[in-house]
Amino acid sequence: MMRKATSPIWHPFTQHALQPEMTPVARGEGAYLFTADGRRIIDAIASWWVVTHGHCHPHIVRAIQDQAERLDQVIFAGHSHEPAEQVAAGLLALVPPSLAHVFFSDSGATSVEVALKMALGYFRNIGEPRSRIVVMQHSYHGDTIGAMSVGARGVFNAAYEPLLFDVAVIPFPSPGREQATLDALAALCESDRPAAFIVEPLVLGAGGMLMYPAAVLREMHRICKAFGVLFIADEVMTGWGRTGTLFACEQADIAPDIACYAKGLTGGAVPLAVTLCSPAIYEAHYSTDRARTFFHSSSYTANPIACAAASANLELWRQPQTRARIAAVAAAQQRCLDRLRYDERFSALRRCGTITALDLHADEPGYLAEVGPRLQAFFRDSDVLLRPLGHTIYVMPPYCVTSGDLEAVYAVIDEAVDHVL
Ligand code: PMP
């Protein structure tokens, strides 16, 4: 008999028949979550990769409190406000110089939808309609229909396949196979005249924390430029220090035409996303002809409270301690990983900035690998928040995590793997 859930809530990416009860979280502080019954959980995946400086960071909390008392929400068509202006100006001081305009939305997926619409709008408005999008194998860009269309096909979206639009796919640049990726991109750019190439720079997150070198990213950008194909950097996961630099594109020294940022934009406190674009894309829409308007909005676009949180986050990024923390977390992660280097239970140990990942020698790879839920249950019982991607275990903590916390996380990984293998 399946145990029935006691709550009417339908949770994301959750099979309720297998996991009827959720962990009830009452409070968050720094790298920890606390349950109502007093358990302390180490948040080793930054609550789905969003929390950067730590839960309930006092500077961000104060900014939210102050803004909530002044202006909670205002329609963003025809109106603006100081927190949004601060975020836009603050972002432009930090991002690659190719980006000059800031469009607000609410989540990573919507920032990707906006990016795709900007790309198609650009080509339509310059009188050269193009609509084909090139993507990388194993990509993930969100769960709306457009974002799923540019992401990998699989168990996640099989039911919706008839609604997904067709895209051109280049292979993931796995070690030794980089040239095949570059050749495929160049061939598609030439034959298909695509509008854009969208890619997660340096690390493919949900696809299994797959990492590739900055030189490949740089070369993919060069190819797109050479063929007049717009380059969209989806930095939703890689942004905000995750790969060791503020944005992953910095490591390849490239200037994308469009960039998507979300998750850590508010330090992980409240939802907010932005899509930034080059002057050419903005100018292609800039006209006295109302038909050229960029027709996109959502009710809460640039919500002032969310913008105040983002503005506070940008202030934290202007402090040198923030980058020093990232370097320290990256070094501590490497030390923990090094101890598993010759452990035969694991393969493909890898790190990019503050993210580590390793694969379990399991019989069946893929997201539905049976080891995944068993590991997750063990982690839950051990008060460590980790969610393996199939047989891939990864650690992506908030930057306030201590070396001691990380050692505890890897000790639990060690035990968990013994338990399930
Ligand atoms: N792009 C990437 C690279 C992501 O990792 C994610 C979320 N994991 C998204 C887009 C979608 O973001 P959101 O969940 O905020 O819609």
Superfamily classification of domain 25-56+322-420: Aspartate Aminotransferase, domain 1 (3.90.1150.10)
Compute, in angstroms, the gap from residue 174 CA to the centroid of ligand 1.
Answer: 22
pLDDT at 367: 65
CB within 8 Å of 69: residues ≥ 6 apart: none
pLDDT at 1: 52
pLDDT at 373: 87
pLDDT at 64: 98
For residue range 169-220, list pLDDT tens digits in order. 999 999 999 999 999 999 999 999 999 999 999 999 999 999 999 999 999 9
* Residue range(s) in the chain whose domain bears CATH number 3.40.640.10: 60-317
pLDDT at 2: 62
pLDDT at 365: 64
Secondary structure class of 77 (helix, strand, coil): coil
Compute, in angstroms, the gap from residue 236 CA to the centroid of ligand 1.
Answer: 6
Give, in words, the CATH class of 60-317.
alpha beta
Residue 25 to residues 22, 128, 215, Cα–Cα distance (Å) = 9, 52, 42
DSSP for 320-375, please give it.
HHHHHHHHHHHHHHHHHHHTTTT-TTEEEEEEETTEEEEEE--SS-STT-THHHHH
pLDDT at 19: 87
Substitution site in 263, 275, 355, 396 for ligand 1 pocket (most atoms within 8 Å of beta carbon)? 263
Spatial separation of the C-alpha atoms in residues 206 and 153, rounded to whole Å: 12
Strands (E), 81-200: 101-105, 133-136, 168-170, 196-199
Output the pTM of the full model: 0.97
Substitution site in 202, 237, 352, 387 for ligand 1 pocket (most atoms within 8 Å of beta carbon)? 237
Positions in the chain short of pLDDT 70: 1-3, 362-367
Compute, in angstroms, the gap from residue 37 CA to the centroid of ligand 1.
Answer: 31
* Residue range(s) in the chain whose domain bears CATH number 3.90.1150.10: 25-56+322-420
Ligand 1 binding site (Cβ under 6 Å of any ligand atom): 107-109, 112, 140-142, 200, 205-206, 234, 236-237, 262
Is the CB of residue 201 less than 8 Å from the CB of residue 252?
Answer: yes
Residue of minimum CA distance from atom 2 in ligand 1:
141
Is the CB of residue 109 less than 8 Å from the CB of residue 147?
Answer: yes
